[in-house]
Structure 1
């Protein structure tokens, strides 16, 4: 028991708060891969069309995003997610619309970093519902 002068001891949450966060990360990657795949016919209709190299680039990127959903419990998963955003922004050379799409999703992942920091701070302060008495 803690007294008013002494802070409460750290109590881990009853439920894993990171499980939901990992689910949001996986869901975001799935949605992002769908958008990448749908970009192929869209940019094929724009301007000069799309070359074979661009199609391979986008298909590989979309498949890697789907595969990345399975490693969200790893400590390096957020780094992989951010690296995928850099690769998508680099798609600007495939078509400017792909790069713009990358910038949009990069903003989503910056917000995810904020959420991750907020969850960690709440765990440390004992503010999650599973940590309260």
Structure 2
């Protein structure tokens, strides 16, 4: 029997990588309008990017979900640094809310034995 959570971790890792790329694009905004890449705002964006990439490799641990939530909160709180970062945080916050709901649904159906991979042929 295949592990459905293994495939789902792949989806979450892909989402984290896409999010890291999009947040990295916000470095262009920081460079042009927010005091440059050497400012505290550039450092904030850089730390969030590194955290997102590092979280990709940690998804196999149970506590990694809390890391993802903390990164989303940091991104959403980025609205205090500049509005564009907060907007990204809101958009990806909705994406992660949906992904966590899907994860909960898959885990519930797996516990009930209702997944297609659990059915006898």
Query: If the length of structure 2 is used for normalisation, what is the TM-score?
Result: 0.92
Q: 2:30, 2:42 within 8 Å by CA — same for their partners in 1?
A: no
* Partner residue, 2:48: 61
**SS where residue 24 of structure 2 aligns?**
helix
Taking CA–CA contacts closer than 8 Å with sequence separation of 6 or more, which of the two structures ends up with the larger relative contact order? 1
Tell me the distance in 2 between the aligned counterparts of 1:25 and 1:78. 10
Determine which of 86, 91, 94 is the counterpart of 1:99.
86
Tell me the distance in 2 between the aligned counterparts of 1:53 and 1:122. 45
Query: If the length of structure 1 is used for normalisation, what is the TM-score?
Result: 0.84
1:38 aligns with 2:13: no
Shift of 1:118: 0.7
Determine which of 68, 87, 90 is the counterpart of 2:74.
87
Q: Based on CA coordinates, which of the two structures has the bigger radius of gyration?
A: 1
4+ long deviations beyond 6 Å:
none
Tell me the distance in 1 between the aligned counterparts of 2:61 and 2:111. 20
Q: CA RMSD in A?
A: 1.1
1:50 aligns with 2:37: no
Unmatched runs of 5 consecutive residues or more in structure 1: 1-13
Tell me the distance in 1 between the aligned counterparts of 2:30 and 2:55. 25
How many correspondences in the alignment? Answer: 117
